[in-house]
Structure 1
C-alpha cells in the first residue's frame, strides 16, 4: 500500500537519507535541499512516500501558480532500493489527485531530458512536451 504523509519533525531525517542511483543523482537535488526550500517557501507541500510503514520516497509540489500559469511539481523521487515496483507511479497519481483539487489549471513537471524513466512515467500520465525549457530541464504539461 502506497501513501503520502507530510514531512514532520519525526521523519525529516529519514527523508534526507533516501538516495537515488549514481546515474540518477545528476538529475535531482538531494532531499535535504528540497526540505530547506519548503521551509522558506510556505506554498510548497512536501510529502514522504510510504510503502506500508516504510518511507521509500519523497515528493514536493507548489500550491500556487508559477511559470506557464501552472502548478509545478518540484520533486518526485523513490529510493534506489525501492525502484521498479510501481511506487513512483502510484505516488504521482496520489499527488495529482491532490493537486487537481486545487483547481483546473495545468500541472507542470520539469526533468532532465536524459532521464528516460521520468519521461516514460510522465508521458503515461498524460503530460505532454510542448517545447518548454527552463535551464537544463524540459517542462511537460498536463492539462485538465
Structure 2
C-alpha cells in the first residue's frame, strides 16, 4: 500500500479520529479511539497518530516512547477503520511506526500485546517478524520484534 502516512493527533484531526470504528467482530479486542486519545493526554510518553491513506484518515495508532515491561517499547494501539481494512494499510502504518520506534534511545525490542483470539493482529505481527516467546499479561499475549 503506497501513500500511507502518520500524522500526529492535533486540534484539527482528533475528532475525526474518534469517529473511526473497527468491524463488529473486532470491537471486543480494542478500546475506542476516544479512550486512547484521552489516555495519551494523561500519559505524556504516549505518542498518538492518525493514519492516512492519500488524504483520507483511515486509522489510529499509539505507542509509548519510554521503555516498559520486557525492556522494550510497547505498541499500545493500532486500528484501521472497518471501511479500509484488508488493503495493506495496517501493515504499512505499522512499518512506519516501527521505523519511528527504532530511532528511540536503546531501542532493542518492540512489544505488542493482543488478545489470542485476534487472528488479524496475529497475522499482521507475525508477518512483520514479531515472535511469541510465551509472554502473557492478563488475557493478552505479548509478542516481540527484536531490532538489529
> Could you say whether these structures have the same fold, taking a TM-score greater than 0.5 normalized by the shorter chain as the test?
yes
Match of 1:25 among 3, 22, 27: 27
1:105 deviates by 2.1
Aligned match for 1:35, one of 34, 37, 48: 37
Q: In structure 2, what is the equivalent of residue 105 of structure 1?
A: 108
Residue in 2 aligned with 1:130?
A: 133
Q: Which runs of 5+ in 2 are unaligned?
A: none
Structure 1 stretches of 4+ moved >2 Å:
none
| Number of equivalences | 144
Unaligned runs of 5+ in 1: none
User: SS of 1:27's equivalent?
Assistant: coil
1:121 counterpart = 2:113: no
* TM-score using structure 2 length: 0.96
CA distance in 2, matches of 1:42, 1:104: 19
The answer (yes or no) to whether the contact 2:5–2:53 under 8 Å persists in 1 is yes
2:59 corresponds to: 57
Measured after TM superposition, the shift of residue 104 of structure 1 is 2.9
RMSD: 0.6
